[in-house]
Structure 1
Amino acid sequence: MAKPVYTDDLSTQVIKVDRDSIHFSPEGKLSVTDTSTENALIKAAKILQQPGGVVAFPTETVYGLGGSSLCTESVKAIYAAKHRPADNPLISHISSIEMLRSKLLAPGQEIPEVYKPLIEKFWPGPLTIVLPVGDSNKSPISPAVTAHGPTFTVRMPVHPIARALISISGIPIAAPSANASTRPSPTQAAHVYHDLKGRIPLILDGGACDVGLESTVVDGTVDPPMLLRPGGVPMEKIKEVGGPFWQKIIHVKKVAGKNEPVRTPGMKYRHYSPTAQVVMFLNSGNGTDATHNYIAEHRLNGKKIALLRSKRFVEPEDGVFQVVRDLGRSGKAIQKNMFAELREVDELGVDYIFVEGVPEDHEGLAIMNRLTKASSVIVDGGKETIRGRD
């Protein structure tokens, strides 16, 4: 048996690649005009083709840590590098519909018709769909990808580097976010290096991610259909283009229990958490009274506190916060900046991060999904809910 590429003491190489040099024709044919970018993609693809081979690469959502969806050794290497629980399933990434049909579906299996309008509109893009594994004895997917469950998840990224890497390697790539498990998701190559240096051989640096948080996951194998994880495609858009079936979609807010199997990442375990304690404020006006009252009640004077504000909180004037950052005013700006700012202020050594919550519509649904999981305390109109840090 081949020795896995993964080890605890790897020298991690970071290679810059030019996304603008990568092009796909309408028929899906790939061309790369920059030689160094093409060589980097080929090098990464060769690693992925080896049993146990993993690399990190950018997508439009966040950076992913990828390995072959068809190779259990590679999938185990992903879990090991991230310290990720093995019962947390992975999303497979494809470069074309043909790859889905030829490499992931069992013989005789078809893509359900209910997904066709969503695929036509949102693929390639930040939408993940749930499909049945079919006959597990005939399925080409490693059972480690599905956490031995009866379904798998798949999406086609629009980011040219991700799609080109999958195309050149010729294999579907299982890829969770390229961070240490429970940490905020990485949206820059530096975030990946911070968490996984010495654990993976290669990071493709394609700059900052465009969307900034993970893909939307929908399950159309059940009726009514379910939104399992809000993300880069708002639920309103799914209803708009999906037809009558998707008008019935419901948002599943339930978190899976300790011994309960899950169908998609993000339904189990602590996620997106900095080292500092995160306190989220809802229905708190311009933020001044709510944040000052919390500091006074919890005797936090003298603590180093960062404030991440967005739509309504005003710029503080009294110097009580050592760090103040703007996440943006629009939903798209907030979701793009959120993980990066959580990481950056955390690395400044703050004790607390106060963050302003947003309304749960459009991009706000996904933003609040992530912020809620990152928070230890939620202050809603002055009422505190302690979530703990499991």
Structure 2
Amino acid sequence: MCDELSRTSELTNDNNESPQQHMSPHLINLARRLITTTTMASPSFQTKIAKVDPTKIFFPENSHIDGTLPIITDPITESALLEAAQIIRDTDQTVAFPTETVYGLGGSALNDQSVINIYKAKNRPSDNPLITHVSSINQLNRKIFKSHKTDSSLQNIPIIYHKLIKTLWPGPLTILLPTENTRGTLSVKTTNSQPTFAVRIPSNVIARALIALSDTPIAAPSANTSTKPSPTLASHVFHDLKGKIPLILDGGPCNVGVESTVLDGLSRPPMLLRPGGLTLEHILELGGQDWIDCKVENKQNVKQGETVRTPGMKYKHYSPDAKVILLIPPPDSNQRPTVKSYLHELNEIVGQEKGKKIAILTGPILNREEKLFPNNTDIIVKHLGDEGNEIQANLFAMLREADEIDNVDVMIVEGSSEDGEGLAIMNRLKKASAGNYVYVT
């Protein structure tokens, strides 16, 4: 097949000869896909980890609107941020950095090659749109919309979003905007040539400072190998991307722990496309009358070839190497299962997975019930938390810990109801478990 690939590559670059003369259309398409895959290898780097101190970065009030630069009082932090900003602004390469949600892998959203290098480092297909991160509405207007009007800072943002972003930006809220006035600025690789693009202002001061100092909108998916759990520590990024990127900014753990909430206010009714760091209840409460009929996108998977408007909807996601089995409670919170019901299912699963190393990730129901778990020396118990925000913050880190440090074969995870933070938690766990559900009654 390698010889055939080489031959196909030569043929597709020969202006005088059609490859169809030599190969069937099916083989041509297969070879082209394989060529794309084999050329996705990232260049090799001595990946550097630079410590940055978020407590030494200060943004003036309203800087997320007018674009005022931050004040940085620590020379080491400032030096690391300036180095990262130079990479983003002046090269085609990428930088990993913390946000309040997860660590992001960033490159210029305006530069085709930078975005291609993001896909290469992640080993991710390039047919998925990326979220663009800006430091201020001023930067959004100047760098993406090329607008210099000063009469209204929200002039390029549909009114349906105004109440939300006035309250929730900076923060884990991503909105879809039309691309019609962004031609010549945003890379089509960032948008996947779609009529909308996704954008947010992160609240993490390291992320905002990097974007502001580079004065470059940054396209940034999670900084992990494609399909793996998202990283919430710099060490997670290093585990996945060592040698594939030049620099990781280490700002400590991410406090939210799951990706941003993505909203589409351009459709009718408006849609919550991806649950995340802001709950549906938050959106309904703060969005006003325009969002009262907001619908939740309920697709767990999309069909091959289907276009998606936001990351996280396509392909395998958030999956450890270990098998994940998700214990799902009834949708009606009034039918909350008993500890006895959960223990019955645990015993059944442990019996089926006999001889394997197992991690049990508990939530509020199974917490403190370890003494009642199956008596097996190959069982590790980890507690995700009792409250939704705690579980959310710990989820990806514990999936990685059980997988990469404890090297378990199977994880059994206590699921939650899908209200509040539970909507995002169960979205991630359902993808991580790839349909391995056990319904607890």
TM-score by length of 2: 0.83
Gaps of 5+ in 1: 1-5, 383-390
Among residues 284, 294, 312, which one is paired with 2:349 in the alignment?
Answer: 294
Shift of 1:309: 0.3
| AA of the residue aligned to 1:249 | C
Match of 1:26 among 35, 43, 61: 61
Q: For the Cα contact (< 8 Å) 2:105–2:220, is it kept in 1?
A: yes
Match of residue 329 from structure 1: 386
Q: Which residue of 2 aligns with 1:74?
A: 114
Quote the residue 1:316 is aligned against.
370
- Could you say which residue in structure 2 is the equivalent of 1:13? 48
1:365 is the counterpart of 2:423: yes
Is 1:340 the counterpart of 2:397 in the alignment?
yes
Question: In the alignment, is the contact (CA less than 8 A) between 2:264 and 2:272 conserved in 1?
Answer: yes
Q: Partners of 1:197 and 1:251 in 2: how far apart?
A: 36
Q: Which of 375, 379, 385 is equivalent to 2:438? A: 379
CA distance, structure 2, for counterparts of residue 266 and residue 319 of structure 1: 38
The match for 2:216 among 164, 171, 180 is 171
Provide the C-alpha distance between the structure 1 equivalents of 2:274 and 2:163, rounded to a whole number of angstroms: 19
- 1:103 paired residue number: 143
State whether residues 102 and 259 of structure 2, in contact with CA within 8 Å, keep that contact through their aligned partners in structure 1. Answer: yes
Q: CA offset at residue 50 of structure 1?
A: 2.6
Cα deviation 1:68-110 (Å, max 9, x = unaligned): 0000010000000001110111000000001111112266972
1:190-248 per-residue CA deviation (whole Å, 9 max, x = no partner) reads 00000000000000000000100000000000111000000001010111011111011
Aligned to 1:93: 133
Q: 1:112-132 CA distances to partner (integer Å, 9 max, x unpaired)?
A: 011100110100000000011
Alignment match of 1:306 (pick from 356, 359, 366): 359
AA aligned to 1:60 is E
How many angstroms apart in 2 are the aligned matches of 1:338 and 1:14? Answer: 24
Q: Which amino acid aligns with 2:282?
A: K
Residue 122 of structure 1 corresponds to 168
SS at 1:379 equivalent? strand
Higher helix share: 2
Inter-partner Cα distance in structure 2 for 1:303 and 1:47:
45
Partner of 1:385: none
How many residues align? The count is 374
Match of residue 15 from structure 2: none
- Deviation of 1:293 after TM superposition, in Å, equals 1.2
Q: Which secondary structure state, in structure 1, belongs to the residue aligned with residue 49 of structure 2?
A: strand
Task: In structure 2, list runs of 5 or more residues that go unmatched.
Answer: 1-40, 150-154, 330-336
The amino acid of 2:385's aligned partner reads G
Per mean C-alpha deviation after superposition, the further-off stretch among 372-381 and 336-345 is 372-381
Partner SS state of residue 61, structure 2: coil
1:182-197 paired onto structure 2 within 5 Å: 182-197=227-242
Q: Give the CA deviation at 1:135.
A: 4.9
351-360 or 287-296: bigger deviation: 287-296
Structure with the largest fraction of strand = 1
Q: TM-score, normalised by structure 1?
A: 0.93
* Contact map agreement 1:272 1:373 (CA 8 A) in 2: yes
Higher radius of gyration, 1 or 2: 2
Shift of 1:155: 0.2
> Which residue type is aligned with residue 223 of structure 1?
R
Which residue of 1 is the match for residue 102 of structure 2? 62
Percent identity reads 51
Residue 240 in structure 1 maps to residue 285 in structure 2: yes
Distance in 2 between residues matched to 1:70 and 1:214, nearest whole Å: 22
Whether the aligned pair in 2 keeps the contact of 1:106 and 1:134 (CA below 8 Å) is no
Write the distance in 1 (CA, Å) between the matches of 2:93 and 2:407.
34
CA contact (8 A) 2:145 2:181 kept: no
C-alpha deviations, 1:331-359, integer Å up to 9, x for none? Answer: 00000000000000011111100000000
* Amino acid in structure 1 at the alignment position of 2:98: P
Do the aligned residues in 2 keep the contact of 1:51 with 1:73 (CA within 8 Å)? no
